[in-house]
């Protein structure tokens, strides 16, 4: 481990942190909500932390583990320091709560400990949602778009931060790829913002909800989330954009360069859309009786499905009160997540389809043991190592979930609440099931230990387990 180099690069990234706090600071000045002092202090802390980034170490060699380390470290420091504005403004009294809220923001989870969102200052609400936007595409990815990638082996960092089992480079240099990605990301966010404005939402709300959708985060500025806005236009717009942000961004690039054949051939996209359609139809039929009218049922079903499968976590209805079948489908969707290379969390459609396919081929093999089978994706054979990688990931994921569940059980909450709390945080969704943490509830009443564990789960889920799991390996800390 080249700790000096890790420190140097992590410190350099802290500059981004300082820059990130400028927009909320401006918001604070616009609304005169008195939160500018906490923001200024936080900026100062970030700048202080970035000082080692100006002294370049002699040995600049880096390997995969160093890259992973930088990612985890940057995310932890960002969350810890990013929580300061909430704490210093005394609007969230407990630091652990602030941390939980910030981690939830950066990891685009959207689980909140706030019981009364509407009482919080505008600039803090803006900051909360802005962390979604930054965290969605990645903090370090953002850093890379700005800094020159010459002094770092950037691939390791990209691999750790970009969601999904495979990594698609758009241009031959990371810096260009990342700029293209962020460009498309910003553009889509802007389009949503404009469309929400047209729907009659005010500027602040449109902006905040666009951030929440783009990062597939889910923080709202209303206690009952998007349910506050009764306009079907707004609900449909947000639902459609959630769905769009759950799609692999490479697809948009392919559309941009007019390679439509490749988009058509993308099997992950097809699976993703099929899952949404099927789940929506089944839930709609199931909840038809509760709502008056076909349109209402369709809208509620579609919104909740899109929100869950992309791991956003917005809600227009309290799906916790839906019939059991619908609840179960929502629960299952929590695991699926968005497409690889999107801002969504969860297992990712690609992994799920590889898992299902490899399970099927195992069954076929048990019938005729000598049969040779390959697993294909997009017409290309996925080699054994890759399949094994996905399976191992899944195993780690399940084990990690169970471990967290055990710790949460100390809290003497019911199994449904504990289980869905873990599932919703590790998959970066937001609300769980049950009275306490359902769409109408929040995580405020959990114990401190549970909040810490769930924060780790959120980070682990966002960074796709390995970087966080690595921290628990003793040998990584030995020189």
Partner 1 sequence: MKIIIIGGGKVGRTLVRNLNDEGHDVVLIDIKSAVVDAVGDAYDVMCIEGSGTDITVLEEAGVRTADLIIAVTEKDEHNVLCGIMAKKMGAGRCVARVRNPEYYHQLQFMRDVLDINMIVNPEYLAANEISRILRFPAAMHIETFAKGRIELVEFKIDKDSPMADIPLFKLYSDHKVRILVCAVMRDNEVIIPKGDFILHAGDRIYVTSTHIDIAKFINKMHVDNQRVKSTLIIGGGRISFYLARMLGELGIKVKIIEQDMDKCNKLTDMLPKASIICADGTDRDVLIEEGIDSVDSFVSLTGIDEENIIVSMYAKQNGINKVITKINRLSFMDIVEGMGIDSLVTPKDITADVILGYVRAMDNISKIANNEIRTLYRIVGNNAEAIEFRVYENPDIVGIPLKDLRIKQNVIIAAVAKGNKIVIPSGNTVIDVGDHVIVVTTGHLKHLNEILL
Residues binding partner 1 (CB under 8 A): 64, 149, 153-156, 167, 169, 171-175, 383, 385
Q: Which residues, in sequence order, are CB contacts of 386 under 8 Å at separation 6+?
A: 165, 354
Specify the length of the chain in residues.
Answer: 479
What distance in Å separates the CA atoms of residue 436 and residue 168, rounded to the nearest whole number?
40
Minimum distance from residue 191 beta carbon to partner 1 (Å): 28
Q: How far is the CB of 3 from partner 1 (least distance, A)?
A: 21
Q: In angstroms, rounded to a whole number, what is the distance separating the alpha carbons of residues 144 and 161?
A: 12
SS3 category, 303: helix
Beta carbon nearer to partner 1, 84 or 470: 470
Which of these, 194, 170, 338, 325, lies nearest to 255 by C-alpha position?
170
Closest CB to partner 1 among 6 and 306?
6
Output 128 or 156, the one with its CB closest to partner 1.
156
Pick between residue 265 and residue 321 the one whose CB is nearest to partner 1: 265
- Structure token digits, residue 410: 């100390």
Q: Smallest gap, in angstroms, from Cβ of residue 176 to partner 1? A: 9
Coil vs helix vs strand at 376? strand
CA distances from 383 to 53, 138, 390 (A): 41, 28, 11
Long-range contacts of 166-173 (CB under 8 A, 24+ apart): 166/340, 166/341, 166/350, 168/248, 168/250, 168/341, 170/250, 170/253, 173/149
> What's the closest the beta carbon of residue 130 comes to partner 1, in angstroms?
29
- In the complex, minimum distance from the CB of residue 21 to partner 1, in angstroms, rounded to a whole number: 29
C-beta closer to partner 1: residue 156 or 451: 156
What is the closest distance, in whole angstroms, from the C-beta atom of residue 155 to partner 1 in the complex? 5
- Which C-beta is closer to partner 1: that of 84 or that of 160? 160
In the complex, least distance from residue 64 CB atom to partner 1, rounded to whole angstroms: 7
> Smaller CB distance to partner 1: residue 172 or 366?
172
- In the complex, minimum distance from the CB of residue 479 to partner 1, in angstroms, rounded to a whole number: 23
Listed in sequence order, the residues at least 6 apart from 429 whose beta carbon sits closer than 8 Å to its beta carbon are: 109, 110, 111, 218, 308, 311, 312, 313, 334, 345, 346, 423
Between 134 and 152, name the residue whose CB sits nearer to partner 1: 152
For the chain, what is the total number of helices (H) and then of strands (E)? 22, 2
Q: Least CB distance from residue 153 to partner 1, whole Å?
A: 7
Q: Which is nearer to partner 1, 167 or 332 (CB)?
A: 167
How many angstroms separate the CA atoms of 440 and 226, rounded?
Answer: 12
Q: In whole angstroms, how close is the CB of 430 to partner 1 at the nearest point?
A: 34
Q: Closer CB to partner 1, residue 150 or residue 289?
A: 150
Contact 33, 97 (CB under 8 A): no
DSSP 69-124: HHHHHHHHHHHHHHTHHHHHTTSS--HHHHHHHHHHHHTT------S-GGGS-HHH
Residue 162 DSSP SS3: coil
Task: Select 25 or 160, whichever has its Cβ closest to partner 1.
Answer: 160
Distance CA 339, CA 4 (A): 36
d(CA 469, CA 474): 11
Closer residue to partner 1, CB minimum distance, 251 or 407: 251
- Helices (DSSP H) in 368-383: which residue ranges? none
CB of 15 to partner 1, least distance (A): 21
- For the beta carbon of residue 470, count every other beta carbon within 10 angstroms: 18
In the complex, the smallest distance separating the C-beta of residue 154 from partner 1, rounded to whole angstroms, is: 6
Task: Kindly state the smallest distance separating residue 379's Cβ from partner 1, in Å.
Answer: 10
Tell me the C-alpha distance between 43 and 311, whole Å: 30
Q: Whose Cβ is closer to partner 1: residue 43's or residue 470's?
A: 470
With vertex at residue 141, the alpha carbon angle to CA 139 and CA 143, rounded to the nearest 5 degrees, is 70
């Amino acid at each position: 481990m080249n700790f000096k180099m890790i420190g140097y690069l992590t410190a350099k990234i802290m500059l981004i942190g300082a820059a990130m706090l400028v927009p909320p600071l401006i918001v604070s000045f616009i609304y005169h909500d008195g939160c500018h002092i906490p923001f200024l202090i936080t900026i100062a802390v970030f700048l202080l932390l970035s000082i080692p980034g100006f002294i370049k170490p002699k040995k600049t060699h880096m390997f995969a583990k160093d890259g992973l380390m930088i990612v985890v470290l940057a995310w932890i420091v960002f969350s810890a320091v990013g929580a300061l504005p909430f704490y210093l403004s005394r609007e969230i009294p407990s630091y652990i709560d602030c941390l939980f809220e910030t981690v939830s923001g950066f990891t685009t989870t959207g689980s909140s400990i706030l019981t009364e969102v509407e009482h919080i200052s505008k600039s803090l609400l803006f900051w909360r949602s802005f962390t979604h936007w930054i965290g969605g595409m990645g903090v370090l990815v953002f850093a890379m778009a700005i800094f020159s990638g010459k002094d770092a082996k950037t691939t390791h960092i990209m691999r750790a931060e970009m969601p999904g089992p495979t990594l698609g480079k758009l241009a031959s240099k990371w810096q260009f790829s990342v700029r293209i990605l962020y460009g498309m990301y910003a553009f889509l966010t802007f389009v949503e913002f404009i469309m929400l404005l047209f729907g009659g939402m005010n500027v602040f709300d449109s902006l905040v909800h666009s951030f929440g959708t783009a990062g597939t985060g889910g923080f709202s500025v209303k206690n009952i989330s998007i349910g506050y806005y009764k306009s079907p236009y707004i609900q449909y717009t947000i639902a459609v954009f959630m769905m769009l942000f759950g799609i692999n961004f490479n697809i948009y690039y392919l559309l941009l360069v007019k390679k439509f054949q490749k988009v058509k051939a993308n099997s992950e996209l097809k699976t993703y859309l099929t899952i949404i359609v099927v789940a929506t139809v089944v839930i709609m039929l199931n909840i038809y009786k509760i709502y008056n009218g076909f349109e209402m049922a369709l809208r509620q079903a579609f919104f909740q499905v899109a929100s869950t499968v992309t791991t956003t976590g917005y809600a227009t209805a309290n799906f916790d009160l839906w019939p059991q079948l619908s609840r179960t489908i929502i629960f299952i969707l929590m695991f699926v997540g968005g497409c690889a290379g999107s801002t969504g969390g969860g297992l990712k459609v690609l992994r799920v389809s590889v898992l299902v396919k490899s399970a099927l081929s195992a069954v076929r093999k048990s019938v005729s043991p000598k049969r040779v089978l390959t697993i294909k994706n997009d017409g290309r054979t996925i080699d054994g190592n890759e399949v094994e990688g996905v399976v191992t990931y899944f195993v780690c994921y399940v084990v990690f979930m169970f471990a967290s569940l055990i710790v949460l059980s100390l809290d003497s909450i019911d199994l449904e609440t504990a289980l869905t709390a873990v599932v919703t945080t590790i998959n970066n969704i937001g609300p769980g099931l049950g009275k306490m943490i359902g769409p109408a509830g929040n995580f405020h009443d959990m114990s401190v230990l549970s909040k810490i564990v769930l924060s780790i789960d959120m980070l682990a889920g966002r960074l796709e387990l390995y970087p966080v799991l690595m921290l628990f390996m003793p040998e990584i800390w030995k020189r």
